[in-house]
Amino acid sequence: MSVKIEEKFPNIFVIDGKLATVNLAPGKRVYGEKLVNVKGTEYRLWDPFRSKLAAAILKGLTEVPIEPGSIVLYLGASTGTTPSHVSDIIGSEGTVFCIEFAPRSMRDLVAVCESRENMVPILADARKPEQYAEAGNVDAIYMDVAQPDQSKIMIDNGAKFLETGGAAMIAIKSQSIDVTLPPEKVYERVISELEPHFEILQKLVLDPFDKDHMFLLLRKK
């Protein structure tokens, strides 16, 4: 039986209708994802219910500002699910600096990084970018930090690590910012806080993959 495969973005593929990335660590799974071999190349299926970036792509993200060779700052790396797919996308010539605050998550993250030399795990607080200043200038920031001050964290990190025109992506979890307001009002507030610093290129609501989440594609002003 033939397998239909197409490249949707650089190093991001669709295999029989499902998102996938080429496995940079062949034979190894990160979160129980399915491995698929097509013509001698091993792909990892990318679960949009486990990854907000995958969800955003399926919801119509027009640009993924992460490509082979990119230097990426990932805020809120958790146990490494989405960062591992970013690792696949950027390949051996790129680097993803994985910032995580929780020691328990960091233990799992370190285990993922052991088989992926382009992933750098850093135990640090995303509110304190001076703790990981060694990242230097990056091509893109990806942020999945469920905190009330999400916008300030992105603004501070963008000021330190992005040059003008640099790309950023943020997953806004409305319930972590203000449970008393409708999600739409929370999104409006976060966007108004970001707009002086970033051009808003695209807004995507992530339902049904992630309830009460909005994904923003940004460019630093």
Structure tokens at 10: 């650089």
Tokens 């806004």 sit at which residue? 172
Which amino acid, residue 36? V
* CATH pick for 5-45 out of 3.30.200.20, 1.10.40.50, 3.60.20.10, 3.40.50.720: 3.30.200.20
Q: Render pLDDT for 63-121 as a digit per residue (tens, 0 to 9).
A: 999 999 999 999 999 999 999 999 999 999 999 999 999 999 999 999 999 999 999 99
3-state SS, residue 7: strand
Q: What is the pLDDT of residues 155-204, one digit of tens each?
A: 999 999 999 999 999 999 988 888 888 889 889 999 999 999 999 999 99
The answer to whether residues 209 and 162 touch, using CB atoms and an 8 Å cutoff, is: no
Q: Give, for 158, the enclosing helix (H) or strand (E).
A: helix 150-161
Top CATH class of 52-220 equals alpha beta
Q: What is the DSSP string of 113-124?
A: HTT-TTEEEEE-
Domain boundaries, the chain: 5-45, 52-220
pTM: 0.95
Q: What pLDDT does 2 receive?
A: 74
Res 146 pLDDT > 90:
no
